[in-house]
Structure formats: structure tokens, C-alpha cells
Amino acid sequence: MYIKTVAWFAIACALALGQPAGDAKPASTNVLGAEYPRVHADLRVTFQLKAPEARQVQVRLGKTYDMTRADDGAWSVTIPPQVPGFHYYSLVVDGAAVNDPGSETFYGSSRQSSGIEIPEKGVDFYEVKNVPHGEMRQFRYYSSVTGTWRRAFVYTPPDYDSNLKARYPILLLQHGGGEDERGWVVQGRTDIILDNLIAEKKAVPMLVVIDNSYAFKPGETPPPLRPPVGPPGSFRIVVSPTFGEVVVKDLLPALDKRYRTLADRDHRAIAGLSMGAAYAMQVGLGHLETFSHFGSFSGTVMRDLDVKTSYGGVLNNGVEFNRKCRLLFIAAGTAEQSRLDAARHARAELDKVGVKYVAYDSPGTDHEWLTWRRSLYEFAQRLFRK
């Protein structure tokens, strides 16, 4: 009885002092020193915000949850267990959506947003390990197509600076709508995934190039970065051909000049998530003389795939396409129904003409970064194999 009393007294004191108790730990995505949000062992999450003048405070993470005000003006709530992976979220203070001061911010949904990493038990392919590490480098190049300087990130494998005779294949990896070239670097953990795969000899050493899909010629009107509100599946992504011109005329030549690349189609791949999948398919399948490996992760464009007409009809002759294509990878999360339906439609179309492909469905994940981390993990293992 005495031990139980002391334990409850300690918890009560911790709560009274505003200190967290129990098994919850600060999220890995918190700013330095921030105790909230906190992730519990069962993946519930506790949020807290000191806002004594506020009349209502909520958390918006998929659903919207009301927070409760304490006497000292601190608002808090513990929400149900969350799906593992990275999620954007916001606090809503008196109707205004704001970022959580306890969280780092990440560019997504066309703005800087709070984000939280929910740990995935027993899975570490996107966690830093004691293995040789490559580098994520910032690469600037001038585009003659857009008349502007552009930025890309380039992952170089661990032996890039020591094995100076080696040349490497290239994977171009594109972000989703409302994101930019930082997405695959920060939220996607691309370098960590590749480091671990290469260390385990599950992937060949390669360069991964992450560029911004938004590219406009002088006078071109940019499309809206945020999709209009409407029922699922109603929005059609408009893919400008300008980015494809940038890739072929500017980006690849600049990479071949700056890095030790294997500059032929057999050693070039292109993939992307969501909107980036649309760009990857347009650029890649539109330039079969340049690329031979293709990946679509949660690609909405797949719901309109017609093997007779799409991409100039290059898919209509299965025998001829299979001769040119070394890998066609089509992935979606099982909880993102519209994208899963799109992937299944595309696979059925390809089956009609005998086009070979690899299908991957990420179990239990929606239109979110865990789907795309898993997709990259599966895709990268299949690249540039003989």
C-alpha cells in the first residue's frame, strides 16, 4: 500500500508541476528541449499548449480533437493510437490553424507544417544505424529551359569519395504536390534508407537525385500548388512538359559533368510519389532513349492509364516495351483507396498487352510518407540488377 501511495503521489506531483509522467516520450520530431508532443508505448499521443487567453484549442491530425484547459492555462489532450510513420498536423486556436511551437516544421501541403514521427516497432530500415554513410549534397545548376538557377539534392553512396574509379547509376526521385525537393530528403529519409540497403548489399550503390518538379518557362502560368476541394478521385493532375525538358536538356548533362555517372539509359531510373509519379511516368516513358527503370508510388495518374493511348502508345506493344524496360514498379498503400484502385486499374491495363511490372501494396498505410518510404525501400532493391 505504501509503495502504491508513493507512486500515485509522484505522478500527481509531476502533473501538478506540468511534467509528463508514465511511458510517454517526446517525439523525435520535437524542437530541442520540447516535452510535447509525447508518444506513448501504445502509440497514443499527448499534445499540450500553454495558451491562457484562448477560448478553444484543438489538434488536427487526420481527425480534429478538442483539448482541455487546466487552471494554469495549459491545454492538453491524449489522442488514440496513430499509424506509424510521419504525419503532418496543426493546432487550431480559436479557429485559426497554427504550428505547434514544440514541433519542428516541414514543408508539405504547400506550407510549413508541424510534423510528428510515430515509431514503427520492429522496423528500422529508415533509422540511422552503425553502417557506412553516404552524403546528401546540395547541387545547383542553370536551366536554359527556364532561364533560372535551380537546386537539386544528390545522394552519393558511402564509397563515392574513396573509390574514385567507380561510376554510378542515377535514380531521379520526385516529390508530391505541395512539397518540394526537401521532402524526400527530410520526411522521406532517402539517404538513411539507401545507406542501410547498400550496407546490407540489398541495393547497388547509386546516386539519387531529388529535384523540384515545378519548372516554368518565362511567361508560363504555374498551376495551383494545392488541389481544389472535391470528392476523392475528382482531381486530375496537370503535368507541365517543361520539367521533362529541364531533365533532358539541363539536369542530366549537368549531373554527367559534375558527378561520375554511368551516362546511359540502362543506368538511369526515375520515380516519384503522387504528383511526382505523374511527372516520373511522363518524363520516363516519354524518353525511353534516356530511362529504363520507372516507379510510380501512389500515382493518381494511373487511374487514367490506357495502354493504347497513354504516353504516345509506348505501352501498347508488350513485347517491344519489355525489351526496353528493365523495371516498371507500381505501388500504393492499402488504406489509400483511390490510389490503390488506380494502381489496380493500371496493372489490369498492362496485363492486357503483357507488359511486365512489379506490384507493391504497402499494408495499412494511407497517402503518407510511410507508404513512400516502404515503396522506395522495395523499389531501390530492384534497380540496376542484371
Region 232-260 average pLDDT: 85
Which of 193-197, 215-219, 250-254 is predicted least confidently? 215-219
pLDDT tens figures, 161-184: 999 999 999 999 999 999 999 999
Percent of the chain with pLDDT over 90: 85
Whether the pLDDT of residue 19 is over 50: the answer is no
Nearest in space to 250 (alpha carbons), one of 150, 183, 138: 150
> Is 8 or 336 the better-scoring residue by pLDDT?
336
Mean pLDDT of all residues in 345-354: 96
Q: How far apart are CA 193 and CA 180, in angstroms?
A: 19
Report how far apart, in Å, the C-alpha atoms of 358 and of each of 177, 330, 385 are. Answer: 24, 6, 14
Q: For residue 222, is pLDDT > 80? A: no
Q: Say if residue 10's pLDDT is above 60.
A: no
- Mean pLDDT calculated for residue range 180-201: 98
- Amino acid 302: pLDDT: 87
The yes-or-no verdict on residue 62 having pLDDT over 50 is yes
Q: Which domains does the chain possess? A: 20-118 (2.60.40.10), 135-380 (3.40.50.1820)
Q: Give φ, ψ of 76 to 5 degrees.
A: -150, 160
Give the mean pLDDT of 282-292.
97
- Three-state secondary structure call for residue 237: coil
> Model pTM?
0.90
Instruction: Please report which confidence band the pLDDT of residue 91 belongs to, taking 50, 70 and 90 as the band edges.
Output: very high
The pLDDT score that the predictor gives to residue 56 is: 98
pLDDT band at 237 (very low <50, low <70, confident <90, very high): low
The pLDDT value recorded for residue 75 is 98
The mean per-residue pLDDT over the stretch 193-211 comes to 98
Mean pLDDT, the chain, whole residue set: 91
pLDDT over 50 (residue 11):
no
Q: Contact, 224 vs 239, CB < 8 A?
A: no
Residue where the block lists cell 528541449 = 33
Q: How would residue 226 be classed by pLDDT, with cut points 50, 70 and 90?
A: low
Q: Supply the pLDDT for residue 221.
A: 77
Asked whether residue 100 carries a pLDDT value surpassing 50, the answer given is yes
Query: For residue 97, what pLDDT is reported?
Result: 96
Q: What percent of the chain has pLDDT over 70?
A: 90
- Give 3-25 as a 3 state SS string: HHHHHHHHHHHHHHCCCCCCCCE
Q: Is the pLDDT of residue 227 over 60?
A: no
Instruction: Give yes or no for residue 232 having a pLDDT over 60.
Output: no
Model pLDDT, residue 109:
83
Residue 172 to residue 85: CA distance in whole angstroms: 23
Q: 15-23: long-range contacts (C-beta < 8 A, 24 or more apart)? A: 18/72, 18/74, 20/46
What's the confidence (pLDDT) of residue 303?
Answer: 85
Pairing of strands 293-297, 25-26: unpaired
pLDDT of residue 7: 39
Query: Tens digits of per-residue pLDDT, 313-327?
Result: 999 999 999 999 999
